[in-house]
Amino acid sequence: MYAFTETPEPHAVRRRAILAEHPEIRERNGYDSWSIPVMIFAVLAQLGLAVAVETLFDPSQLALSIAATIGLILVAGAVLSHWSSMFTHEAAHNNTARTPELNKMWAMVANISQVLPNAMTFRKYHLRHHGHLGTYGVDADLPADWEVENLPANPVMKGFWVFFMFGFWVARGAERATSPNRDEWVNLGVIVVANALIVYTIGWYALGYLLLSTLIGHSFHPVAAHFIHEHYVFEPEQETNSYYGLLNLVTYNVGYHVEHHDFPNIPGSQLPKYKADYPQYYDGLVSHHSWTCILTRFIFNPAMGWTSRIARSDRRGGQWQHAEHTPNPGLLIGFR
């Protein structure tokens, strides 16, 4: 099962220590308004490709049309869909506009090309993830008991799990769900209307292209490998991992993930400069330069599975809520 630790969430500890030495880092918090035109480009490009698919898809040449569409998705559609998702990640931290309400509005605009209404639900659970990193039963990024107990961690099942990762998130989130809030209902209404307009003005093939782009772009695609890379344990006692490869260019630098968890209100566009200015806190950590290699390593390494994570028990009421898991008081997480 999970390796439990009694240590506090490590990035809060790191943040306090770093700010004690460099309080000027607080001045880097804020928002990057340039993230909005980048997102609009990604959304419009994706909708443009949807028009192309609708125009060129030929049911009389079904196999060829499907193959061409899948190829387009792997090369461009999945990347553009995921790029929009990474905007919703930035907006969840209010890093794209001046006010929380503007960040929510733009996140829903980014969500338009993805068919599935997820921007506001992601915002709710992602902020919980940052505040309760690895907390068992609270952090929806942590696989649930039913995943751990019923899915053998062999290459075939791990590949299946990665391919349907979006569905596992939905099921896991439903298990840990709170009632939908007003923002989620608005998000649902926006996407229902957007989908209806896409079908009416473009067509069903276009909507299918957008849906498949979302599903593939958040599962079995190198650009989505960061979902595994971020917090699975590739180095003992290192809970969060950073990636410094080229795919940061189309993900708002989400690969700078240790840096992001240390200071989530520094916009993604500024994280490379922040890391360059304060290398002493990051150069000693293990990092990676290929999400494709990380994805392959996770699937084929028999030592890695659903519980290759560091977890904390929910200690509400002063009691360990899941006594069948033994906490490891000797596991220390922090500066290396």
Token representation of residue 209: 């292209």
Domain of residue 13 covers: 3-328
What average pLDDT score do residues 296-310 get?
Answer: 91
Q: 81-134 pLDDT, tens per residue?
A: 999 999 999 999 999 999 999 999 999 999 999 999 999 999 988 988 898 898
What average pLDDT score do residues 142-171 get?
Answer: 86
With cut-offs at 50, 70 and 90, classify the pLDDT of residue 177: low
Residue 168 pLDDT greater than 90, yes or no: no
Pick the residue with more confidence: 265 or 131? 265
The predicted structure's pLDDT at residue 293: 94
The predicted structure's pLDDT at residue 7: 81
Rounded CA-CA distance 165/157 in Å is 12
Q: 49-72 pLDDT, tens per residue?
A: 999 999 999 999 999 999 999 999
Whether 336 is in a domain gets the answer: no
Q: 149-162 pLDDT, tens per residue?
A: 888 999 999 999 99
- Report how many domains make up the chain: 1
Q: Are 136 and 314 in contact (CB under 8 A)?
A: yes
Lowest mean pLDDT among 163-167, 183-187, 216-220: 163-167
Q: Is residue 80 packed enough to be buried (19+ CB in 10 Å), middle (13-18) or exposed (0-12)?
A: buried
CA distances 270 to 8, 93, 254, 266, 267, Å, are 27, 14, 11, 7, 5
Rounded CA-CA distance 136/128 in Å is 12
- Mean pLDDT over the full length of the chain: 89
Q: 272-291 pLDDT, tens per residue?
A: 999 999 999 999 999 999 99
With cut-offs at 50, 70 and 90, classify the pLDDT of residue 327: very low
Whether 333 is in a domain gets the answer: no
Lowest mean pLDDT among 131-135, 136-140, 209-213: 136-140
Whether 307 is in a domain gets the answer: yes
The predicted structure's pLDDT at residue 176: 62
Residue 318 pLDDT greater than 60, yes or no: no
Residue 190 pLDDT greater than 50, yes or no: yes
With cut-offs at 50, 70 and 90, classify the pLDDT of residue 317: very low
Rounded CA-CA distance 247/249 in Å is 5
Residue 198 pLDDT greater than 80, yes or no: yes
Residue 331 pLDDT greater than 50, yes or no: no
End-to-end CA distance of the chain: 25
Q: Are 261 and 91 in contact (CB under 8 A)?
A: no
Residue 319 pLDDT greater than 50, yes or no: no
Whether 224 is in a domain gets the answer: yes
The predicted structure's pLDDT at residue 328: 32
**The length of the chain, given as a count of residues:** 336
Rounded CA-CA distance 83/217 in Å is 9
The predicted structure's pLDDT at residue 212: 96
Whether 286 is in a domain gets the answer: yes
Query: Could you tell me what percent of the chain has a pLDDT over 70?
Result: 91
